[in-house]
Structure 1
Amino acid sequence: MELRHLRAFLAIADELHFGRAARRLHLAQPSLSQQLQRLERDVGVELVRRSSHEVRLTPAGEVFRGEARKLLDQADRAVAAAHAVAAGRAGTLTIGFNFPAGQDVLPAALAVLNAEHPHVQTQLWERRTGPQVEGLLAGELDVGFVYGRPTSPQLSSTELMTVPVVAVVGERHPWAGRESVPIRMLDRQPCLLFRREQSPAMYDAIMGAVDRAGIKLTVTAEVDDPVATSVFVTARQVIGFASASRAVRAASQGLAAVLLTDPSPTLTLHVVWRTEDRTPLVDALLGALGAAGPYTFART
């Protein structure tokens, strides 16, 4: 069964006139008749009955008409998908992201990407900045959303927004009722931090603000998992750190976010890709980001 025979049958079914159907398909009428005959031979039943007075579908033809249209629609979609892949407008993008990107950037950007490039599939991977950069350099990720501009010459980036770093405490902590505290009040307070390689830009933002305030941070433990940090902060009288985007959603977990001031540590959120591997799919995502922006951080 050939697709051209199906198209010929549907033209006849729509027009119920061989001459008009032939003109619609830019065929000679004898050629159209031959295609219908071959289709009926393949199917094994009569689909169209014609006389000197009329052309009409048989009951079998009426049923076949709907199924034939579905087959052609699917074939058209398959051809469109193949052309999209060949033109770089289809495929799978593997995207790494951190919490602010997942909350404040990706939902709108991926909606635009899906509307403009419906054949592009996405796989999402939530990680801190360090593991994302490793994944990009290893070719495991196509795009990442990280804190700070990567220093590797193999990576290019665009800044999307600025995100404050805040203190996070349990609801029974003395700071829980405060809107903000000067960063010098961290002096000699027990704090939770994370290893620098997990998020270098956030680590440096916190330690840089501490240095400018002329104090030392008392780190009682290093906890790399943000969820585990929340558990420890809830259970103990310790101070953790988080982006404002994450902290603003922490109230339901028994946590309180407290702005840090004088100075206020901040982070820049960047979209990152491999410099020598900026594919059409990466360009499609970057275009969607531009269309969906500008972006603003979620305030506490």
Structure 2
Amino acid sequence: MEFRHLESFLAIAEELHFGRAAARLHLAQPSLSQQLQRLERSVGTELVARTSHEVRLTPAGKVFREQARAIVAQAHKAAQTAREAAAGRSGTINVGYNFAAGQHVLPAVLSKMYAEHPNVGVMLHEMRTGPQLQALRAGEVDVAMVYGRAVGAEFECRPLSRFPLVAVVGPNHKWADRPGASFSELAHEPCILFRRDQCPAMYDAIHGAASSSDITLNVEYEIDDPGAVAIVASVKPVIGFASAVRGRQIGGSVRTVPVRLYDPVPTIDLYVVWKRGRANPLIELFLDCVESRAAVPGEEPVQV
């Protein structure tokens, strides 16, 4: 049984006309008839009943048609997969991301990736900026979505979005009912912060706003896990910090309230980062999908 005989049979089964089927396959009609005869001998039964008035499938032909379609489709898929592998359009890419990227960037990017490159698998790893860049250096992720421009000659990056930072307080905190607070008011409040290596851009934005306000932050707790920050802030009279997008999303059993900060408004920039040289050819496909995504309403693009 030859593959071309299956394709010829399917053309006859779909057209139910030897002339049209032969034209579709760019074959002479006698050649098409010979291929069908060879296929029927191979199968051991008649598949197509032909008279001077009509062409129809036999009961065996109708059953065989479905199996033949599946075989031909699988063969074409195998060929396509091989071509995509040769061109670097199949395989797996590991992507690191933070909360804001997961909310604002990845849904549109992944939708486009799955639609245009269905043979590419995307493995997602949620981490803060510092751990993401460490994983990128170690080759554990291929692309990172982090706050702040990545420092180092080994990295390339593109800016994506800008987000304001907000204060995060518990529902019983004295700021909970306020629409906003001047950054200078933090001089008199105990705060929760994190180690700088966890997210240098956010850390510097917070301290930069404090410096502009001529205050020194009273850091009572140093907690690296954003979820743990929300838990502590929800039950103690302390103030944490988060991007506005995370501040709006904290919920469930952990009840916190985002409070807008102003004068000045601290902001952080979201970047997509990869190692110079792009050893994984799938990185370019992923970056193209990032570049072409539509902006999320309310998102502020950044050019830096």
Indicate the residue corresponding to 2:92 in structure 1.
92
Looking at structure 2, the residues matched to 298 and 291 of structure 1 have their Cα atoms a distance apart, in angstroms, of: 15
Residues 251/97 of structure 1: CA separation in 2 closer, same or farther (3 Å cut)? same
Give me the TM-score of the superposition, normalised by structure 1.
Answer: 0.90
Looking at structure 2, the residues matched to 242 and 165 of structure 1 have their Cα atoms a distance apart, in angstroms, of: 6
Mapping for residues 1-300 of structure 1, pairs under 5 Å: 1-50=1-50, 54-250=54-250, 253-277=254-278, 279-295=280-296
1:122 aligned counterpart, secondary structure: strand
Q: For residue 214 of structure 1, report the CA deviation from its aligned partner.
A: 2.0
Q: Deviations over 1:133-175 (max 9, x none)?
A: 1111111111111000000111111111111111100000011
Q: Deviations over 1:205-252 (max 9, x none)?
A: 111222222222222222111111111111211111111110012255
Q: 1:163 touches 1:297 (CA, 8 Å); kept in 2?
A: no
1:68 aligned counterpart, secondary structure: helix
Looking at structure 2, the residues matched to 11 and 104 of structure 1 have their Cα atoms a distance apart, in angstroms, of: 47
Uncovered stretches (5+) of structure 2, i.e. residues with no partner: none
The alignment yields a C-alpha RMSD, in angstroms, of 2.3
Looking at structure 1, the residues matched to 124 and 83 of structure 2 have their Cα atoms a distance apart, in angstroms, of: 25
Comparing 89-98 and 143-152, the one that deviates more: 89-98
Residues 212/82 of structure 1: CA separation in 2 closer, same or farther (3 Å cut)? same
Identity of aligned residues (%): 53
Q: 1:166 touches 1:257 (CA, 8 Å); kept in 2?
A: yes
The amino acid that maps onto 2:267 is T
Q: For residue 297 of structure 1, report the CA deviation from its aligned partner.
A: 5.5
Comparing 260-269 and 124-133, the one that deviates more: 260-269
Looking at structure 2, the residues matched to 149 and 67 of structure 1 have their Cα atoms a distance apart, in angstroms, of: 55
Looking at structure 1, the residues matched to 135 and 248 of structure 2 have their Cα atoms a distance apart, in angstroms, of: 28
Q: 2:162 touches 2:299 (CA, 8 Å); kept in 1?
A: no
Looking at structure 2, the residues matched to 48 and 209 of structure 1 have their Cα atoms a distance apart, in angstroms, of: 80
Looking at structure 1, the residues matched to 246 and 299 of structure 2 have their Cα atoms a distance apart, in angstroms, of: 8
The amino acid that maps onto 1:242 is A
1:162 aligned counterpart, secondary structure: strand
Give me the TM-score of the superposition, normalised by structure 2.
Answer: 0.89
